[in-house]
């Protein structure tokens, strides 16, 4: 009790009415202080649910909208922003009541219709960010949610969601590229605490059901998952769904479905969902039909034809062709004898690890930003360098945990031609990388032919970094090579050469037009590793670049 009143005093309002309302709220809802201890101690002792009860009615719709100045928001917009903030603070009951109130007060306005959806029996109540490493447009955004969690069970779902990022961080690939990931909790409310199967039906938001496998693995309706999560801006169509009454797990198409709470099952199913990996165990779980080939399983035992043949050719210890995979004891092969996460191990084998690193880079450009902004090849619109001035170009990158990215700066003379190593033209090497417009739903590395194949590519609904294609080789020698400091920043400076000085510094230029190119490469080789984590990168995903025009007068 004393902690509660300390929190009220800490608000600094000096308003007796607020204290009176808080006292009334506590009397009506003793559970409002259920959050108890908080690492920040001080004012954070007050639960959001108690603040909602204590606040005067007009103050309950004052949370600012991220997309408009508060002065431009309507009453309905402010009310929705407040309800969303209640969800982020864990006041789920109060948020649901607020949404019902908005739906009644503004039935014909977009905000009222939105509130009606969010206060339905099966609904997305809201979302919150668990781990924020940077902008949504250049991160892998993972949504963690649940099915069969009623409104009164949302606290349990929130706690479960908060436990998942630390679990991912224990896995070596995600730990190495930890800053490339964001995690979000989607608070999805179901009408029933149950699951379809064995003659029973439950009314749940994501359609959780028992699959027709030998052990009754859990599943969800993928269409419902994406419909419910469509409102969330951080949506790369990647989700971990915990089904409250399910068992075991399944994964694929961006969705890892988990019954119960097994750490290894969660990561195993994420391997299916995120990187398109196959099962490396031989035990039967259901009728799978004939063996098929994928990134880490093969229907042929020929070492030259398996999808991981490049690992065998590199003579990496432990990599071979081992029979018994994909739920088949015979006729299906895997790259390691045992100990892969996609069988019963704790970490990914080298083949699965490679696919996971490439999958991360399908969505994440290692270049975070640059100054000045990058410029396309055409039309020409360069930076002017004259007199005694100087031009500086800066690139900022993401930083893996235990290895450094490499930067190569090129200075190409337009008068000599922009020479590249692609005699057929191919993809431009010196234009800016195309921005990502949405998540990828296409085939994954190893499941499609490399560039140059005559086989048609499966169309994708959204762009990803494979659509750029591999960068072709620049034939000129790099003028500057950097390995990054802890800030991941590299800078290249240019000056105008003074006439008659005989200065041979390649960064002091004679009059003319030049193209400055910064190319970033991820060697994918953490400290202590004998071999790189990626041996084959047909789309050049571990490489990125930015380019600028300069005119020296």
Q: Is the predicted pLDDT of residue 498 greater than 80, yes or no?
A: no
**Range in 102-106, 342-346, 503-507 the model is least confident about:** 503-507
Domain that holds residue 413: 366-458+470-553
Kind and range of the H or E element at 96? helix 92-105
**How far is the C-alpha of 445 from the C-alpha of 536, rounded, in Å?**
10
Alpha carbon 364 to chain centroid distance? 8
Q: Which residues pair with 269 in a beta bridge?
A: none
User: Quick check: is 535 in a domain?
Assistant: yes
133: which residues sit within 8 A by CB, 6+ positions away? 139, 178, 179, 180, 181, 182
Contact in structure between 257 and 218 (CB atoms under 8 Å): yes
- Phi, psi (deg, nearest 5) at residue 105: -80, -30
289: which residues sit within 8 A by CB, 6+ positions away? none
Looking at residues 510-524, what average pLDDT do you find?
A: 93
3-class SS letters over 440-500: CCCCCCCCCCCCCCCCCCCCCCCCCHHHHCCCCCECCCCCEEEECCCCCEEEEEEEECCCC
Question: pTM value?
Answer: 0.81
Which pLDDT score, from 0 to 100, does residue 532 have? 98
The three-class DSSP label of residue 259 is: strand
Which pLDDT score, from 0 to 100, does residue 232 have? 94
What total of structural domains would you count in the chain?
1
Which pLDDT score, from 0 to 100, does residue 6 have? 26
Q: Is the predicted pLDDT of residue 395 greater than 90, yes or no?
A: yes
Q: Is the predicted pLDDT of residue 53 greater than 70, yes or no?
A: no
Kindly state the tokens that stand for 131: 């781990």
**How far is the C-alpha of 295 from the C-alpha of 175, rounded, in Å?**
22
pLDDT digits (tens, 9 = 90+) for 350-371: 999 999 999 999 999 999 999 9
Which pLDDT score, from 0 to 100, does residue 444 have? 34
261 CB burial (10 A radius; 0-12, 13-18, 19+): exposed
pLDDT digits (tens, 9 = 90+) for 532-549: 999 999 999 999 999 999
pLDDT band at 381 (very low <50, low <70, confident <90, very high): confident
Q: Is the predicted pLDDT of residue 21 greater than 60, yes or no?
A: no
Work out the percent of the chain whose per-residue pLDDT is above 70: 76
Work out the percent of the chain whose per-residue pLDDT is above 90: 60
Contact in structure between 24 and 17 (CB atoms under 8 Å): no
Looking at residues 7-29, what average pLDDT do you find?
A: 36
**How far is the C-alpha of 161 from the C-alpha of 235, rounded, in Å?**
16
Which pLDDT score, from 0 to 100, does residue 212 have? 81
Which pLDDT score, from 0 to 100, does residue 378 have? 77
- Among 64, 208, 14, which residue's Cα sits nearest to residue 122? 208
User: Quick check: is 452 in a domain?
Assistant: yes
User: Quick check: is 454 in a domain?
Assistant: yes
Omega prior to 349 cis, within 30 of 0: no
Contact in structure between 277 and 326 (CB atoms under 8 Å): no
- C-alpha pair distances (Å), 172 with each of 26, 284, 296, 445: 46, 29, 18, 20
**How far is the C-alpha of 75 from the C-alpha of 94, rounded, in Å?**
18
pLDDT digits (tens, 9 = 90+) for 462-472: 458 999 889 98
CATH number of the domain at 514, please.
Answer: 2.60.40.10
More confident of the two residues 68 and 445: 68
- C-alpha pair distances (Å), 4 with each of 67, 301, 365, 438: 33, 67, 46, 45
User: Quick check: is 506 in a domain?
Assistant: yes
User: Quick check: is 292 in a domain?
Assistant: no
Q: Is the predicted pLDDT of residue 305 greater than 80, yes or no?
A: yes
- C-alpha pair distances (Å), 406 with each of 140, 293, 400, 545: 22, 35, 12, 11
Give the highest mean pLDDT range of 44-58, 171-185, 423-437: 171-185
Looking at residues 342-353, what average pLDDT do you find?
A: 96
**How far is the C-alpha of 414 from the C-alpha of 271, rounded, in Å?**
46
User: Quick check: is 330 in a domain?
Assistant: no
User: Quick check: is 487 in a domain?
Assistant: yes
User: Quick check: is 96 in a domain?
Assistant: no
């Amino acid at each position: 009790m004393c902690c509660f009143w300390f929190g009220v005093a800490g608000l600094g309002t000096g308003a007796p009415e607020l204290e009176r309302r808080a006292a009334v709220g506590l009397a009506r809802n003793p559970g409002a202080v259920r959050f108890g201890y908080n690492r920040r101690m001080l004012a954070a002792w007050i639960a959001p649910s108690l603040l909602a009860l204590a606040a005067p009615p007009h103050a309950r719709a004052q949370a600012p909208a991220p997309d408009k100045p508060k002065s431009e928001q309507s009453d309905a917009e402010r009310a929705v922003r407040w309800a969303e903030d209640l969800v982020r603070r864990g006041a789920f009951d109060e948020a649901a009541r607020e949404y019902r109130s908005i739906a009644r007060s503004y039935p014909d306005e977009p905000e009222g219709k939105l509130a009606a959806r969010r206060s339905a029996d099966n609904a997305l109540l809201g979302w919150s960010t668990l781990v924020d490493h940077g902008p949504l447009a250049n991160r892998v955004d993972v949504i963690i949610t649940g099915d069969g969690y009623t409104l009164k069970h949302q606290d349990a779902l929130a706690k479960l969601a908060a436990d998942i990022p630390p679990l991912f961080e224990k896995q070596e690939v995600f730990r190495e590229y930890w800053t490339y990931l964001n995690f979000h909790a989607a608070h999805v409310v179901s009408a029933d605490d149950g699951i379809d199967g064995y003659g029973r039906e439950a009314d749940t938001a994501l359609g959780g059901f028992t699959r027709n496998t030998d052990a009754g693995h859990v599943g969800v309706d993928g269409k419902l998952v994406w419909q419910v999560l469509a409102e969330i801006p951080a949506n790369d169509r990647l989700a971990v769904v915990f089904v409250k009454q399910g068992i075991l797990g399944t994964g694929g198409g961006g969705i890892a479905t988990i019954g119960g709470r097994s750490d290894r099952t969660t990561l195993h199913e994420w391997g299916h969902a995120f990187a398109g990996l196959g099962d490396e165990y031989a035990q039967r779980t259901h009728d799978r039909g004939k063996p098929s080939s994928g990134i880490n399983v093969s229907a042929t035992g020929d070492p030259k034809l398996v999808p991981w043949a490049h690992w065998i050719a590199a003579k990496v210890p432990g990599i071979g062709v081992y029979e018994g995979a994909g739920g088949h004891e015979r006729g299906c092969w895997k790259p390691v004898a045992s100990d892969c996460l996609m069988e019963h191990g704790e970490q990914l084998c080298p083949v699965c690890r490679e696919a996971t690193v490439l999958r991360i880079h399908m969505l994440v450009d290692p270049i975070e930003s640059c100054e000045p902004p990058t410029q396309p090849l055409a039309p020409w619109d360069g930076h002017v360098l004259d007199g005694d001035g100087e031009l500086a170009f800066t690139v900022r990158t993401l930083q893996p945990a235990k290895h450094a990215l490499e930067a190569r700066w090129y200075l190409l003379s337009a008068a000599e031609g922009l020479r590249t190593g692609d005699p057929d033209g191919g993809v431009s090497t010196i234009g800016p990388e195309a921005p990502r417009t949405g998540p990828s739903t296409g085939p994954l590395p190893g499941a499609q032919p490399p560039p140059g194949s005559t086989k048609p590519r499966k169309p994708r609904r959204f762009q990803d970094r494979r659509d750029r294609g591999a960068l072709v080789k620049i034939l000129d020698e790099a003028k500057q090579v950097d390995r990054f400091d802890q800030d991941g920043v590299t800078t290249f400076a240019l000056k105008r050469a003074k006439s008659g000085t005989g200065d041979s510094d390649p960064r002091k230029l004679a009059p003319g037009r030049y193209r400055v190119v910064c190319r970033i490469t991820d060697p994918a080789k953490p400290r202590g590793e004998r071999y790189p984590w990626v041996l084959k990168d047909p789309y050049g995903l571990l490489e990125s670049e930015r380019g600028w025009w300069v005119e020296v007068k």
